[in-house]
Amino acid sequence: MNTTLKKLKKGVLLTLAAVLTTAFAYSQSNCSKFYPIEEGTAFQYTNYNKKGKIEGTVDYTISKVTAEGSATNATYDMKYLDKKGKDLFETNFNILCENGMVRIDYKSLFPSQMMQQYTEMGLEMDITGTDIELPNDLSVGQELPDANLTVAMNMGGIKMNTVVDQTNRKVEKKERVTVEAGTFDCFLVTETSISKTMGMTIEMETKLWLAEGVGMVKQESYKKNGALTSRMELTKFDK
């Protein structure tokens, strides 16, 4: 049982790290400046470790877009591959754009594939939290709402809770950034991410570079002591 729970803990943290730190996508529509809202749009981010070596890729495709009154809802299909090209997991999640604000449904962030696997193992799961929000109009010094995701698990009376808090979200400055996909004028958004599970706490500082009409072009994560742990860059786009 301990081995199973350790695997669950690793899987949950990997999953939440992948989906929460890639919450900012790219392209522009009348509804959103920082998320694609057009069916068929496909793009890719590449993950690198602290030494600059490739750790994996995250591929997105927008499979469905629907109108709900004054709001637009888009379904993102997501595939996470490791450095050897092995499919680690696939899932989809929804974003809602309305009145100049984009919201990501926190419940849809947890992979359905993993949910099914855990259910078959006899695992009970309860997911709560707050939606991730990003306004269209960003400005230097602007503070953004906090976000939270809590996953409570119970397997045969043994419980495991995983909590991820995204706090201190702020637009720090504007600067030009160059990645494999090109050079962009960006807003730099910083935040603190705290993950807690099975007595273990991981606190990271994250930097996100967002460009109007493009969205996230780069993301870096740091330990509390300022040491770089990973980065993510936009590497492919097909619209």
Average pLDDT of the segment spanning 26-30: 42
**Given pLDDT bands bounded at 50, 70 and 90, which one contains residue 30?**
low
The phi and psi torsions of 120 (rounded to 5 degrees) equal -65, -25
The phi and psi torsions of 59 (rounded to 5 degrees) equal -105, 135
**Given pLDDT bands bounded at 50, 70 and 90, which one contains residue 31?**
low
Tokens of 213: 């009409």
- Dihedral sign of CA atoms 10, 232, 65, 142 in order: positive
What is the C-alpha R_g of the chain?
A: 17
Average pLDDT of the chain, as a whole number: 79
What CATH number does the domain containing 146 carry? 2.40.360.20
Report pLDDT for 24: 46
**Given pLDDT bands bounded at 50, 70 and 90, which one contains residue 97?**
confident
Closest CA to 65 of 48, 42, 40: 40
Show the domain range for 99.
Answer: 2-238
Q: Determine the 3-state secondary structure of 212 from DSSP.
A: coil
Report pLDDT for 102: 78
Euclidean distance between CA atoms 16 and 80, whole angstroms: 12
User: Over 50: is that where the pLDDT of 92 sits?
Assistant: yes
Q: To the nearest whole percent, how much of the chain has pLDDT over 90?
A: 26
Q: Which of 24-38, 118-132, 181-195 has the highest mean pLDDT?
A: 181-195
Report pLDDT for 28: 38
- Which is more confidently placed, 14 or 54? 54
User: Over 70: is that where the pLDDT of 82 sits?
Assistant: yes
* Chain segment 145-204, per-residue pLDDT in tens: 898 888 888 877 778 888 888 899 999 999 999 998 888 899 999 999 898 887 788 899
Report pLDDT for 114: 63
Number of domains in the chain: 1
Euclidean distance between CA atoms 31 and 71, whole angstroms: 8
